[in-house]
Amino acid sequence: MDLPPLAALRSFALVAETGSLTAAGARLNLTQPAISRRIRELEALLGVALVHRGANALRLTEEGARYAAALNRAFGDIATATAALRGATPLRIRAYTTWALRWLIPRLPRFRALHPGQEVEVMTGTDPAVDFAREGLDAAIRTAPADRPPAHGAVRLQPVMVAPFASRRAGLAGMSLLGSRVRPRDWALWHQAAGLPPPAAPLLFESTTLAIQAAAEGLGAVICSPAFVAEEVRRRRLVRLSRTEAPTGDHYWLMLPPGTPTPRAAAFRDWLLAEAAPPTPASDP
């Protein structure tokens, strides 16, 4: 048996859901007469009256109510299957531990809201080499100088800026300097930007996340991106020790596999660029 046109079925289902030709038309960007015409064509094809048309109201016939319920179940199954299909392959991202934990993951609910059903898998690592095929990655985040992208086609996201933070407001003299083995030169770069003499050798942790935790426990001052400790500063577990925010010369870069990106990778790229864009300055009233 040939099925009725999908457009007519969808129109009728929306009329049944909203109880209004006008509301159904608004959902489909169609006029009320166009929706009415689709319903009449569907009734003619089926040989059954689906709606009672009154002067000021529209209601379903008994047959129409049963048919609408069946259509709603069918469209629901289609929606569920489509969401499952889109999310069958997770979006796999490799990034630095601290950037993933303190910048990316807090923002991922916004990505999921825009792309419901798309699962996201975040892996961490510091290896500068990225083998997209072997690791099954859709995207990777790396740091590199602003004028030397880590790979052809890499997209620059944001500069790596650093400042000092500690659990109490005090001078740096006599405080242990805490940092990451991934970025061992950040304290020297910050001292240079602040016009201070070279610092003593810092105590380096496996990741900036560990150094931040050590600073929050009172073990010294950590050098890191202010964005990474925004929550600790808000909760007063850390305080900023200087207004100087030093550029390191590095940027975060987004890398995608060679060739045309998959739809999920393209969606992540577009969303990430919007999230990483600097805020637009407020205009004068």
Q: In this predicted model, what pLDDT tens digit does every residue of 146-188 receive, in sequence order?
A: 899 998 889 999 999 999 999 998 888 889 999 999 999 999 9
Query: Quick one: pLDDT at residue 116?
Result: 83
State in Å, rounded, how far the first CA of the chain is from the last one: 65
Q: Which two tokens stand for residue 114?
A: 């825009």
Asked whether 117 and 83 are in contact (CB, 8 A), the reply is yes
Domain 90-277 classification at class level: alpha beta
- CATH 1.10.10.10 residue ranges of the chain are 6-86
Cα dist from 15 to 20, 21, 22, 63, 247, whole Å:
5, 6, 9, 14, 59
- Amino acid letter for position 208: T
Work out the pLDDT band at 220, boundaries 50, 70, 90: very high
Rounded distance between C-alpha atoms, residue 143 and residue 157, angstroms:
10
* pTM of the predicted model as reported, rounded to 2 decimal places: 0.68
The DSSP 8-state label assigned to residue 173 in this structure reads: T
- What CA–CA distance (Å, rounded) separates 232 from 212? 9
| DSSP label at residue 101 | I
For the domain spanning 6-86, the CATH number is 1.10.10.10
* Confidence (pLDDT) at 14: 86
What would the pLDDT profile of 117-133 be if each residue is shown by its tens digit? Answer: 888 999 998 888 888 88
Is the predicted pLDDT of residue 1 greater than 70, yes or no? Answer: no
Give me the helices (H) in the chain, please: 6-18, 21-28, 32-46, 62-86, 97-99, 108-114, 132-135, 186-194, 208-216, 230-234, 263-276
Which ranges in the chain are annotated with CATH 3.40.190.290? 90-277
